[in-house]
Chains A and B, each alone.
Chain A
Amino acid sequence: MNDVSETKLYRLEADWLDAALGALERDGVEVLAPVKDEDGSVNLAPVTASSEVATDYLNALIPLKSVFMPRTEVLIEYERAGVGDVEVLPGAAPAGQRVVLGCRPCDARALVMLDSVFNWDYEDVPYRARRDSTTVVSWACMDPGPHCFCTSVGGSPHSAEGSDAVVYLAGSGPALLQVVTAKGAAFVESLGDRAQPAADGTALPEPPELETKFDTGEIKTWLDENFESELWEEVSLRCLGCGACSFLCPTCHCFDIVDESTWKHGERRRNWDSCAFCQFTQHASGHNPRPNQTTRCRQRVMHKFKYFPDRFEQVACVGCGRCAQNCGVGQNLVSILSRIQSEEKP
């Protein structure tokens, strides 16, 4: 699986992080890295010193998608210009050069799925701009958590998909870096002499064991046939219809567009939205094609494991486990999917 040519592997000196931060700061590149806040949550945030970076963490609370698709962003601004005229101003310019240093491989893998959507029939300009200006360096996952199931959805704790480079940390000692893309190679260059090509025969560490909990192919077969099924009613009964699972999902990408304005000035904003919300599909007429939580819960599973694969030949789930971990009533995607699989193969 980890079939990487030796020239693409580098040995990083123990102080590589300091060197990287120093070099990137000199070049005017912003670095986003995992930071533990006062309440104990870890999130990607701008850093300037290695002491701020949390290296021992399971995953960021808010997923990596927020770097490319912020929870709220200004698309355009407008201002009244005289009678009956409006001047339209461009929205907030996408960020300059950035490096994300230390997201998890599952979150980086989600970018492959987001890329499919945001470059599909229409190329999303702000998303594209942020993707182009950002280098993603993930930290291989050495110790998956109790809710993790990346291996069940085609990923791996050491997946390089979506990353520009993957770093294999070993405590605070020297680390190993795997270059995946040209952007990743440029990042290695910024490290100067702190990164040396790894010795011949250097192998990547084996990824930690993670039990496969279901088979996405068999689940898709069942979903293809079971748009109408009593199972949906049953599993949705306890769902409260909040957006916690979608908002913390690294692949969920639905958004709402709102205008916030005064008499003179306004902003058109794009905000995260969730298919679990009762008004998500509500028409202006009052009709709602997904009128209850049953149809909304079904949509979430269908979108991830049927519609998305139908269009893009990949499931829209990376197995990070945030949805199960953060559900207030213990709704658990893994248990729903395992059940679907058992229905498929009684």
Chain B
Amino acid sequence: MTEKKTTAAQRDGTDWQPRIVAFLCNWCSYAGADLAGMSRNDYPAAIKIVRLPCSGRVDPMFVLKSFERGADMVLVSGCHPGDCHYSSGNYHARRKLPAFRELLGFMGIDPRRFKISWVSAAEGNKWSSLVADITEEAYALGPFQEFPKCTAPEKTG
């Protein structure tokens, strides 16, 4: 990954940086991210990785909770179809998570803020370019305020 890092200040004069929460399966995507690191690939630091056994472990609540706590984007990444360490976890994820994204979109929560990807242990380069791309998109989308900020008490309860 060779794209030159741009700082937030260069973009719009503010210090804002997107926060991307990534749930990675232990066997493929996490190893892929590891490979990117070992290969000294350069990619944006906006991404915060949570390691899970499998993309099938991702409960949609993880996504929602991340948004509630201020994530600007959420990524779930697992093994390519056919490669699941547990044979079918990612197949289940492939049904559930896109459906969840549809629900979010239907309720007016920008589905572009929820990404799903397959990255294998050998795809260090795919990982770093993926992170660069979605970080770029997160900058374009701007801060996601709807969730964390919507607790204002009402006048009449």
On whether A and B touch (CB less than 8 Å), the answer reads yes
Find out whether the CB atom of B69 lies under 8 angstroms from the CB atom of A70.
no
Residues of chain B within 8 A (CB-CB) of A62 are 156-157
Min distance, Cβ B71 to any Cβ of chain A, angstroms:
12
Find out whether the CB atom of B69 lies under 8 angstroms from the CB atom of A32.
no
Residues of chain B within 8 A (CB-CB) of A43 are 156
Question: Is B13 on the interface with A (CB-CB < 8 A)?
Answer: no
Per the 8 Å Cβ criterion, residues 101-157 of B in contact with A are 151, 153-157
Question: Is A186 on the interface with B (CB-CB < 8 A)?
Answer: no
Q: Mark A63-96, 1 if CB is under 8 A from B, else 0.
A: 0001101111110000000000000000010010
Question: Is A174 on the interface with B (CB-CB < 8 A)?
Answer: no
Find out whether the CB atom of A73 lies under 8 angstroms from the CB atom of B155.
no
Bound complex: CA of A44 vs CA of B69, how far in Å?
32
Bound complex: CA of A262 vs CA of B157, how far in Å?
24
Partner of B156, one of A45, A92, A262, A267: A45
**Interface size of A as a range:** 10 to 19
Min distance, Cβ B141 to any Cβ of chain A, angstroms:
22
Residues of chain B within 8 A (CB-CB) of A267 are 151
Per the 8 Å Cβ criterion, residues 94-119 of A in contact with B are 95
Residues of chain B within 8 A (CB-CB) of A72 are 153, 157
- Count of residues in B whose CB is under 8 Å from the partner chain: 7
Residue of A nearest to B69 (CB): A262
Find out whether the CB atom of B155 lies under 8 angstroms from the CB atom of A45.
yes
Residue of B nearest to A70 (CB): B157
Per the 8 Å Cβ criterion, residues 2-34 of A in contact with B are 30, 32
Min distance, Cβ A108 to any Cβ of chain B, angstroms:
15
Find out whether the CB atom of A69 lies under 8 angstroms from the CB atom of B157.
yes
Find out whether the CB atom of A32 lies under 8 angstroms from the CB atom of B153.
no
Residue of B nearest to A263 (CB): B69
Min distance, Cβ A315 to any Cβ of chain B, angstroms:
24
Residues of chain B within 8 A (CB-CB) of A46 are 155-156
Find out whether the CB atom of A30 lies under 8 angstroms from the CB atom of B153.
no
Find out whether the CB atom of A32 lies under 8 angstroms from the CB atom of B155.
yes
Bound complex: CA of A133 vs CA of B43, how far in Å?
57
Find out whether the CB atom of B157 lies under 8 angstroms from the CB atom of A73.
yes
Interface residues of A (CB under 8 A from B): 30, 32, 43-46, 62, 66-67, 69-74, 92, 95, 262, 267
Interface residues of B (CB under 8 A from A): 69, 151, 153-157
**Can you list 11 A-B contacts with CB-CB less than 8 angstroms, sorted by A residue number?**
A30-B155, A32-B155, A46-B155, A62-B156, A62-B157, A67-B156, A69-B157, A70-B153, A72-B153, A74-B153, A267-B151
Closest 9 A/B residue pairs (Cβ): A70-B157, A66-B157, A71-B157, A44-B156, A66-B156, A67-B156, A46-B155, A92-B153, A73-B153
Task: Please give 4 more A-B residue pairs, beta carbons under 8 A apart, in addition to A32-B155, A70-B153.
Answer: A62-B157, A66-B156, A67-B156, A92-B153
